[in-house]
Amino acid sequence: MAPVVVLVGAPGCGKTTVGRALAATLGVEFRDTDTDIEQMAGKPIPEIFIDEGEAHFRTLERAAVAAALAGGTGVLALGGGAVLAEETRAALIGHRVVHLSVELPDAVRRVGLGAGRPLLALNPRATLKHLMDQRRPLYAEVATETVVTDGRAPAQVVAEVAALLPR
């Protein structure tokens, strides 16, 4: 069985916060591929980046996403960069994918300029802007729906995403 919904978006868009609340609202489980990766590696993501590098992290990420798509039945949140992999984008075809859209000011406020986010360690604001610009077309490519999160409370976003789902 496939996940009820897959959440994608930039760092700070609310995938984990909205995902947990949405799963609770729907009475299903919540799964975050970043958590799956940390469990597989036995260490936090920043340590994976430091010890093995981004390429190794992306390999783990592709495996985590494939496993979650194959075995999940609830709400699935993907890491912000998961859509960079062509095979992940292909695997998302046929799934209900909601892009939680966020603009730079809200993302910066929510992310806190890089704490625990290895790709944002140097010049976090400029790096986050670059990541968002690079990934936005990929989020649009995989999304079946887009929900704007800027200036909204998580409960408002959860209500909008829930309303998009079949009953």
Return binding residues for substrate: 34, 58, 80, 135
Which residue positions form the known binding site for Mg(2+)?
16
Which residue positions form the known binding site?
12-17, 34, 58, 80, 117, 135, 152
Which residue positions form the known binding site for ATP?
12-17, 117, 152
Q: CA 33, CA 107: separation in Å to the nearest integer?
A: 20
The pair of three-digit structure tokens given for residue 114, joined into one six-digit string:
């890089």
Q: CA 128, CA 130: separation in Å to the nearest integer?
A: 5
Considering all CA atoms of the chain, what is the largest pairwise distance in Å, rounded to the nearest integer? 45
Q: How many helices (H) and strands (E) does the chain have?
A: 8, 5
Q: CA 110, CA 87: separation in Å to the nearest integer?
A: 29
Q: Are 100 and 8 in contact (CB under 8 A)?
A: yes
